Amino acid sequence: MKIPIYLDYAATTPVDFQVAKKMMNYLTIDGMFGNAASRSHKFGWEAEEIVDIARNQISDLIGADSREIIFTSGATESNNLAIKGIALFHKKKGNHIITSKTEHKSVLDTCRYLENEGFSITYLTPKNNGIIDLNDLKKHIKKSTILVSIMHVNNETGIIQDINSISEICKSRDIFFHVDATQSVGKIEINVKNSFVDLMSFSAHKLYGPKGIGGLYVRRKPRVRLLASLHGGGHERGMRAGTLPVHQIVGMGESFELAKKKIKDDFIHLNNLRNELWNGIKNIEEVYLNSDLKQGAPHILNVSFNYVEGESLIMSLKDLAISSGSACTSSSLEPSYVLRALGIKDELAHSSIRFSIGRYTTKEEIHHTIKLVHKSIYKLRELSPLWEMFKSGVDLNSIEWDHS
Amino acid sequence: MAYSKKVMDHYENPRNVGSFSNSDINVGSGLVGAPACGDVMKLQIKVNSKGIIEDACFKTYGCGSAIASSSLATEWIKGKSIKEAESIKNTSIVEELDLPPVKIHCSILAEDAIKAAITDYKNKRNKG
């Protein structure tokens, strides 16, 4: 067992050996290093062919046509391209966009940018269980609504949104529907055709592929048009210019093909380990589950330990590579906006930990994690004045805290 | 966040963790911070008849810097007179622990906790 134990697969995954090995063939003078846009020689043709193969591997996993995949630098760029692209291309039709408060920053910050550009954005508040209220969504749709952008699986809690129902609502009202599927592709089944999705963002490095490459699915029939944000040689059907990073595309294709083969086994593996982890810690007093074991993605377990602060817990669990829902370790001291949007009080949002597991996580690692969590919680609660007050029956809400 | 060795040492081996009985007339208690802000410090002093802080203890809910700042504060005030303890500045804590700028707040809390404990002690004596 390697220490620290990596439990941050929602942040990034290691590249699968098979994927890395394949990528090496597309870099050096001995390999197929050509520019896929070179039409005049063998090097270019080879590169073009391998990109086509990768495009097929990727579209196969999500049920798309290979011509509907636009390569980007990652899901952040895909989200930017989708949201800004639709907004700017269709602004004559309307200027209203609907998203939710629990989206990734690359969606929220893009929407904020568009607000400054004269667009009006509705940020839906999910229900306490994290799910978007469909009636609430319907209520906020206006004549000027051109786009709804909702993520499939939340990156902090693993909560899965009802993409099919949302797409029905959008389709019946002729509104574009964009899904940020960064955390779901390859983990749970998603088929863009069955789900009537217009645009979908995803990334390679969340799925045992390389960093720096991602994709955007853009529906062809009926055609979804958007404004490009990078201009140049007209690559990627004019939607995203730039020389294709062939080795990364090859890696992404290979990792997506692997994911398609392994999706069922991976799901069972992840689901079992996540449940085992929760079962091992759920008996700790004052522990709260921010994920959903039945309706959540199998690889994310978000838990709050009351009366223990998140950053010190992460420090104390130094043998675990985990992250806090709270942004305490950055320059911002605010607790997680995602958890707060779900109505979780600040104290519990401050005490949250996201454990995210992956293909290489072992039972042994989970058992060790459970032991370490018990030990750390005990130690930090012995140190916590709030725990002492709670145990002696003091109502913490009755105290006038000094908020300076 | 990369913490200094001193923060890590106090975090892993916090000094003077515990609680004194609040009903003791020689004990002063300070409780500062707020759970919603992510930091709460409880610092207590035990003062002898000569006005010397003969013992101090703390409990802290908060990040590593908050735990280290309060642990260091208890070490510093032990054996000092009330006047000496009152004059401890947060900047000395920042310097000693080499706290990063975003964690200066923790040292301010520790200074506040010392002052709150002393005020509580004085109030108790005045009443008694």
Q: How far is A336 from chain B (nearest CA, A)?
A: 12
Answer whether A312 sits within 8 Å of B11, measured CB to CB: yes
Answer whether A328 sits within 8 Å of B39, measured CB to CB: no
Please, what is the Cα angle at A23 between A20 and A26, to 5 degrees? 160
Percent of chain A with pLDDT over 90: 89
**Rounded Cα–Cα distance for residues A225 and A176 (Å):** 10
Q: What is the predicted pLDDT for the residue at A224?
A: 96
Q: What is the DSSP string of A170-233?
A: HHHTT-EEEEE-TTTTTTS---TTTTT-SEEEEESTTTTS-TT-EEEEE-TTTTP----SS-SS
The predicted-structure confidence for A248-295, as pLDDT tens digits, reads as follows: 999 999 999 999 999 999 999 999 999 999 999 999 999 999 999 998
- CA A50 from centre of chain: 27
Q: Tell me if B61 and A385 make a contact (CB, 8 A cut-off).
A: yes
Q: How far is B42 from chain A (nearest CA, A)?
A: 6
Q: Which residue has the tokens 């040689």?
A: A233
8 A C-beta contact, residue A351 and residue B36: no
Residue A347, pLDDT score: 84
Query: Domains in chain A, please, with CATH?
Result: 5-10+262-388 (3.90.1150.10), 17-259 (3.40.640.10)
Q: Which two tokens stand for residue A112?
A: 């904020």
CA distance A142 to A138: 9
> What is the mean predicted confidence (pLDDT) over A303-324?
92
List, for residues A168-206, the tens digit of each pLDDT value: 999 999 999 999 999 999 999 999 999 999 999 999 999
Q: Is B63 an annotated catalytic residue?
A: no
Report the pLDDT value the prediction gives residue B128, as an integer from 0 to 100. 63
Q: Is the dihedral angle over the CA atoms A287, A291, A297, A299 positive or is it negative?
A: negative
> Could you give the CA distance from residue A145 to residue A51 in angstroms, rounded to a whole number?
36
SS3 B112: helix
From the candidates B4, B37, B42, which should be mutated to test the interface with A, based on the most A CB atoms within 10 A?
B37
State the complex-level ipTM. 0.94
The owner of tokens 């699968």 is: A16
CA of A379: which chain B residue's CA is closest? B12
| Positions of E strands within A285-360 | 287-289, 300-305, 320-321, 323-324, 352-356
Residue of chain A nearest B116, judged by CA positions: A402
CB contact under 8 A, A384 and B33: no
- Cβ atoms within 10 A of the Cβ of A224, count? 22
Q: In this structure, are strands A199-203 and A176-180 parallel, antiparallel, or unpaired? A: parallel
Residue B51, judged by CB atoms within 10 A of its CB (0-12, 13-18, 19+), counts as exposed
Contacts of A331 in chain B (CB under 8 A): 102
- B5-127 classified as CATH 3.90.1010.10: yes
Nearest to B36 among A347, A387, A388 (CB): A347
Using CB atoms, which residue from B11, B17, B33 is nearest to A402?
B33
Contact between residue B39 and residue B67 where contact means Cβ atoms under 8 Å apart:
no
- Judged by a CB distance cut-off of 8 A, whether residue A335 touches chain B is yes
**Domain spans, chain B:** 5-127
Angle at A296 between CA A11 and CA A161, to 5 degrees: 95
Residue B37 — very low, low, confident or very high, per pLDDT cuts 50/70/90?
Answer: confident
Identify the CA nearest to A70 among candidates A223, A199, A206, A246: A199
What residue has token string 């002898």? B48
Is the pLDDT reported for residue B61 higher than 90? Answer: yes
- Has residue A328 got a pLDDT over 50? no
pLDDT, one tens digit per residue, over A41-51 is 999 999 999 99
What is the Cα–Cα distance from A225 to A16, expressed in whole angstroms? 35
Distance, CA of A54 to CA of A57 (rounded, Å): 5
Q: Which residues neighbour A325 within 8 Å (Cβ) at sequence distance 6 or greater?
A: A156, A290, A302, A304, A310, A335, A336, A338, A339, A349, A352, A353, A354
- Beta-carbon separation of A403 and B37 below 8 A: yes
Residue A383: its chain B contacts at CB < 8 A? 14, 17, 59-61, 67
Q: What pLDDT is stored for residue A330 in this prediction? A: 43
DSSP helix/strand/coil, A256? helix
Mutate to test the interface with B, among A339, A350, A378 (most CBs of B within 10 A): A350
Which residues are CB-contacts of A157 (< 8 A; sequence separation ≥ 6)? A102, A130, A290, A291, A292, A296, A300, A302, A338, A339, A342
Return the structure tokens found at A22: 């394949």
The sheet with strand B27-34 has its strands ordered as B27-34, B39-47, B53-61
Q: Does residue B104 belong to the interface with chain A, where contact is any CB pair within 8 Å? A: no
**Residue A4: is the preceding peptide bond cis (ω within 30°)?**
yes
pLDDT given for residue A326 in this prediction: 47
Report the Cα–Cα distance between both ends of chain A, in Å, rounded: 45
How much is the pLDDT for B1? 60
Q: Which residues in chain A have Cβ-Cβ distances shorter than 8 Å to B34? A: 401-403
> Which residues of A does the annotation place in the binding site for pyridoxal 5'-phosphate?
75-76, 155, 183, 203-205, 243
Q: Is A350 on the interface with B (CB under 8 A)?
A: yes
pLDDT at A334 over 80: no
Residue B123 neighbours by CB under 8 Å, 6+ apart: none
Return mean pLDDT, chain A.
95
pLDDT score of A327: 43
Across the range A101-124, mean pLDDT stands at 97
* Residue of chain B nearest A352, judged by CA positions: B38
Please determine, for residue A344, whether its predicted confidence score (pLDDT) is greater than 80.
yes
In 3-state terms, chain B is what percent helix, strand and coil (to 5)?
A: 50, 25, 25
Residue A338 tokens, joined: 């995602």
